[in-house]
Structure 1
Amino acid sequence: MSSLPTEEDHRLTPVFQEDRVCTGVTTVRGRVFLSYPSADRPGVQVVEALPDGRRVPYPDAAWNRADQPPSGAFVHVNGLRAGPDGRLWIVDSGSPRIGGAQVPGGARLIAVDPDDDRVERVYHLDEAVHPGSYVDDVRFNGRVAYFSDAGAAGLIVLDLDSGRARRVLDGHPSTAGGPVVADGRALRDPDGTEVRLHVDQLEVSPDGRWLYYQPASGGMSRIAARWLDDPSVPADELARRVERWCDTPSTGGTAIDAAGSIYLSDLERRRVLVLAPDGGVRTLVADPRLAWVDAMWLDADARLWMPAAQLHLTAGLNGGISTVEYPVQIYRMPVGIGPPARDHA
């Protein structure tokens, strides 16, 4: 079993304590939004965390109702983040779970204007998903958005002006996942079958030149964004442009700062690593409380938010037995540098 840290790091500040597994946190102009993937039990999927401790369904209760069609309700939210335009962007995976079937019309990117809390636009990804797809996360690069597909290995490129989505690097080895190891154990579903999560994490370099990406089992690659952004580039040419960039461990989430350093959660050793632009690696923090840090968030005040989601302890990834310890914690620590303007404000 991997060596786990035994001492708590005083730099970690517990910010929120949740009674459900929480995998996403983002901030928009001082407001805080959280997402719950229903990994432990069903319920509201996106909330605003108010200063008085209340959790208010966002953008409203209707979008969070499970008995509504996908035309006006979430299927399964797996990512949310503020964009460079100040909007809140919500990724609907389109499938109720990893390995589940796609719900027609469910895979979407939903833009919400925080000024009036209204859904401003919905981008449908149907033409770019497979039946077994699980749209995982998104990053922005000007008027282009890139998505990871953890269910069917591949990336999705969305033109934010035209709304056209297309699939790239479909089934490429760099997007395909192997065994995911957390706390020394491989993930297994309730039947005991090993779970594999395909391309999961992705980040855009501050200058917009590179897209970095990897499956949850680790092994980070990169490709120049100009090749992805050009729909005329043939699939075999795209495949040749992929570069292996860094050997990484099984990972829950990433973030990137204005200097181009990537923050990466190491599921095997309950720590967060920093990958420098030159490929150097250092440990930022190691703490026994950092159990499956998922989608991290770097805010404008140079603070890294870390939801310790404990996903590997949920029944769906732990052989059918939940050993999640509640409350689920979200931590924060100063890192001395903020996010790239290209990523978010």
Structure 2
Amino acid sequence: MSSLPTEEDHRLTPVLHEDRVCTGVTTLRGRVFLSYPSADRPGVQVVEALPDGRRVPYPDAAWNRADQPPSGAFVHVNGLRAGPDGRLWIIDSGSPRIGGAQVPGGARLIAVDPDDDHVERVYHLDEAVHPGSYVDDVRFNGRVAYFSDAGAAGLIVLDLDSGRSRRVLDGHPSTAGGPVVADGRALRDPGGAEVRLHVDQLEVSPEGRWLYYQPASGGMSRIATRWLDDPSVSADELARRVERWCDTPSTGGTAIDATGTIYLSDLERRRVLVLAPDRSVRTLVADPRLAWVDAMWLDADARLWMPAAQLHLTAGLNGGVSAVEYPVQIYRMPVEIGPPARDHA
């Protein structure tokens, strides 16, 4: 078993308390939005968290209807984030669960205009997914978006102008996951089989030159975005351009600041690490409450939001036994530097 922290860190402030497992948080113009992966029970997938404590389905109740065709309703939201353009971007994995089959038309990037709370555009990713894909997360680089696929190892590149998407580094070793270890134990499905999550976390460097990425089991790589952005580059050439960057642990989520420093959650030891541009690593915070910190968010006021999602304690990843302790908390703490403008507003 890994050694877990025993003392609480006073710099962590619990700011949101959820009655369901929550993996995504983002802030936009003073508003807070959350996403729920239905890992513990079904329900609304995206909400706005109002100051009075209410959770309002977002962008509306219709998009959050269950068991509906994907036209006008979510299949399975895995994350969300405010973009550099001031819109809210929602990632629909297109599959009801990791290991499930893709729903035709389900894998999408959905742009919502916060001025009127209406869906402005839907980017379909059908041409870039496999039957076992699970579109996990997104990062922006000008008019290009990059996606991780945790279900079928590979990355997806989307041209935001044309709407065309394509698959890159498909099955490359840098995108393939191994055993994911949290609190010293490997993830197991209800039947006891080991669960593997492929490429999950990804970040774009502040100047847009590099894409950093890794599977949830750790082992960060990078590749120059010039190679990813050029559709004429062959698969073999792309593979040659991959660089191993850092031997990271099993990770739930990452964020990047304006200096290129990457924050990453260490699932094995309930801590958040800081990976500097010179590849040095240090511990930012270790706390027993940081159980599976998932998709972190760095806001404009240089505050790091950390959803302690406890995913490894849900029945689907804990051998069929739920051990989640409610409420599920989202913590926040100040850091030194805010986000890069290329990443989000």
TM, length-normalised to structure 2: 1.00
Structure 2: runs of 5+ lacking an equivalent: none
1:123 and 1:219 map into 2 onto residues whose CA distance is 30
Structure 1: runs of 5+ lacking an equivalent: none
Stretches (4+) displaced over 3 A: none
| Residues 51-80 of structure 1: CA deviation (Å, up to 9, x unaligned) | 000000000000000132101100000010
Aligned alpha-carbon RMSD (Å): 0.3
| Residues 151-171 of structure 1: CA deviation (Å, up to 9, x unaligned) | 000000000000000000000
Per-residue deviation at 1:336? Answer: 1.7
| Residues 184-207 of structure 1: CA deviation (Å, up to 9, x unaligned) | 000000000000000000000000
| Residues 6-51 of structure 1: CA deviation (Å, up to 9, x unaligned) | 0000000000000000000000000000000000000000000000
Greater alpha carbon shift after TM alignment, 66-75 vs 231-240: 66-75
Q: Tell me, what secondary structure is at the counterpart of 2:174?
A: helix
| Residues 68-106 of structure 1: CA deviation (Å, up to 9, x unaligned) | 210110000001000000000000000000000000000
Aligned residues between the structures: 345
1:336 and 1:216 map into 2 onto residues whose CA distance is 26
Per-residue deviation at 1:232? Answer: 0.2
Q: Tell me, what secondary structure is at the counterpart of 2:211?
A: strand
**1:1-345 aligned within 5 A:** 1-345=1-345
| Residues 277-334 of structure 1: CA deviation (Å, up to 9, x unaligned) | 0100010000000000000000000000000000000000000000000000000000
| Residues 208-257 of structure 1: CA deviation (Å, up to 9, x unaligned) | 00000000000000000000000000000000000000000000000000
The sequence identity of aligned pairs, in percent, is: 95
Q: Tell me, what secondary structure is at the counterpart of 1:78?
A: strand
Q: Tell me, what secondary structure is at the counterpart of 2:66?
A: coil
| Residues 106-146 of structure 1: CA deviation (Å, up to 9, x unaligned) | 00000000000000000000000000000000000000000
2:48 and 2:17 map into 1 onto residues whose CA distance is 14
2:104 and 2:191 map into 1 onto residues whose CA distance is 27
1:15 and 1:311 map into 2 onto residues whose CA distance is 19
1:184 and 1:279 map into 2 onto residues whose CA distance is 25
1:56 and 1:136 map into 2 onto residues whose CA distance is 23
1:69 and 1:238 map into 2 onto residues whose CA distance is 36
2:128 and 2:259 map into 1 onto residues whose CA distance is 32
1:67 and 1:226 map into 2 onto residues whose CA distance is 40
2:22 and 2:13 map into 1 onto residues whose CA distance is 17
2:180 and 2:53 map into 1 onto residues whose CA distance is 34
